Amino acid sequence: MKKVLLEGAGVAGLGLLLALAANHLSPRRLELTRNYFPGAPLAMPIVRTNPAGPADGSIPPPGSTAARLREHGLQLAGHDQAVQFFHDPRRAVEEVIFIDARDEAHYAAGHIPGAYAFDRFHPENHLVSVVPACQAARVIVFYCGGGDCDDSEHAAIMLRDSLALPREKVFVYDGGFNEWSARGLPIERGARNSGDLAPATPPAAPAGNEGAPR
């Protein structure tokens, strides 16, 4: 039994060393020293309920998305407000910008038109474009997939704190891209401003919905 324990310890030790080496060599490696979840620890909701909190503007209940965002100095943008920002004329001059915090594959498959890509796990790929845009903008709306996704929150905290952005211009669109596309709002495929615009088709809607609104 002692020999088995020793062999197990040897396998564990060598395995961990090789595993860390494999991670280091991987092009998609995780940086051990980077804090991927900045700010205070965010309690992950098992199931999101009442995401926006009470409608009357009172203090949201503990555990709601609104309460968590408020705790971290972020403002919640509900769906209507996100649509309002999208149609805001200031978006044309980039005073209102959207930032997509999902990974590059999801971004390329479809994103809110004009949104900047910002995969927070690989920020080095996006900082050149995102930093000046954030500094120039008056309203920055972060979003990810919606639901249990909290990448938008972490991306917002990361950029807000590292760029010393005023809190009042940072919003998180809680419904995210899933809600956006499910409601048939326009989406853009490929790169930013690729011109490949199309309305998303809601799951229940019949196929062949033609005509991009913009």
Partner 1 sequence: MSAAAARLARWVLGGLFIYLGLSKVLHGAEFLKYVQEQLLVRNPFFAGGIAAVAPWLEVLYGAWLLAGIARPAAAVIGRWQLGIVFIIMGLHKALPHPEAFLKLVRQYDLVTHPLLLNAIGAALPWFEVFCGVLLLAGVAVRGTALNLVVMLVPFTVVVIWRALGIAAATGLPFCAVKFDCGCGGGEVYICAKVIENTVLLLLSAWLLRGAGRPLCLRHTLRPGQGSADA
In the complex, the residues that contact partner 1 under the rule CB under 8 A are 3-12, 14-16, 18-20, 22-23, 26, 28-37, 41, 43-44, 46-47, 103, 121
Please report how close the Cβ of residue 44 comes to partner 1 at its closest, in angstroms: 5
Q: Measured from the CB atom, is 33 or 58 closer to partner 1? A: 33
Please report how close the Cβ of residue 102 comes to partner 1 at its closest, in angstroms: 11
Nearest Cα neighbor of 79 from 166, 183, 205, 191 is 183
Please report how close the Cβ of residue 140 comes to partner 1 at its closest, in angstroms: 22
Alpha carbon 96 to its chain's center: 17
Annotate 84-102 with b (16+ C-beta within 10 A) or e (fewer): ebbeeeebeeeebbbbbbb
Q: Measured from the CB atom, is 119 or 137 closer to partner 1? A: 119
Q: Measured from the CB atom, is 15 or 132 closer to partner 1? A: 15
Name 15's Cβ contacts closer than 8 Å, sequence gap at least 6.
none
Please report how close the Cβ of residue 149 comes to partner 1 at its closest, in angstroms: 9
What's at 41, amino acid-wise? P
Please report how close the Cβ of residue 200 comes to partner 1 at its closest, in angstroms: 21
DSSP state letters, 125-177: GTHHHHHHHHHH-SEEEEE-SSTT--HHHHHHHHHHHHHT--GGGEEEETTHH
Q: Measured from the CB atom, is 127 or 149 closer to partner 1? A: 149
Nearest Cα neighbor of 175 from 69, 46, 80, 75 is 80
Q: Measured from the CB atom, is 79 or 153 closer to partner 1? A: 153
Please report how close the Cβ of residue 25 comes to partner 1 at its closest, in angstroms: 10
Q: Measured from the CB atom, is 14 or 136 closer to partner 1? A: 14
In angstroms, the CA 202 to CA 181 distance is 7
In angstroms, the CA 93 to CA 96 distance is 8
